Amino acid sequence: MSETIWNQVKLDDEYSFELKDVNRSHFVRYAGAGGDFNPIHHDQTFAEKAGLPTVFGMGMFTAGVLGRVPSEWFGPTSIRRYSIKFTSRIWADDTILFHGRVTRIYEEDGVPHADLELKATNQKQEDLIRAEATVRDWKP
């Protein structure tokens, strides 16, 4: 992919995908993979005792899925920098739009780079995460 994307990418280009019907199984599978077994993410009674209506997803689950944007768009070895800011929670039954936009294209040491603005928003248009990434043309 990186052999052709760098010949085509332009300022303000966009890439996005949707994750529909997020469910508790997503949270539990992420807990197993990431080791975050905080019961607030899978135990309804615990979440209610904490004053929440239900369980919610880990921020890092959302950040990990958002990381698919630069990875799928420019290739997994192209990501040089990825920084995130959590802004809200992901809930079961949410539909999430993961989106990226090119904000800058430049060369560094003769290597093409692009800066990206990334975000994850739910079906209510609420931001869940705002992020930035830098990708570069990298060949192993």
pLDDT in tens, 16-57: 999 999 999 999 999 999 888 999 999 999 999 999 999 999
- For the chain, how many structural domains are there in total? 1
Q: Say if 47 falls within a structural domain.
A: no
Q: Say if 52 falls within a structural domain.
A: no
Per the structure, the complete domain to which residue 11 belongs is given by 2-22+58-136
Q: Say if 43 falls within a structural domain.
A: no
Q: Say if 48 falls within a structural domain.
A: no
- CATH number of the domain where residue 67 is located: 3.10.129.10
Helix H, strand E, coil C: the string for the chain is: CHHHHHHHCCCCCEEEEEECCCCHHHHHHHHHHHCCCCHHHCCHHHHHHCCCCCCECCHHHHHHHHCHHHHHHHCHHHEEEEEEEECCCCECCCCEEEEEEEEEEEEECCEEEEEEEEEEECCCCCEEEEEEEEEECCCC
What pTM did the predictor assign? 0.90
Is the confidence at residue 1, as pLDDT, over 60? no
Is the confidence at residue 59, as pLDDT, over 50? yes
Q: What is the mean pLDDT of the chain?
A: 94
Q: Say if 71 falls within a structural domain.
A: yes
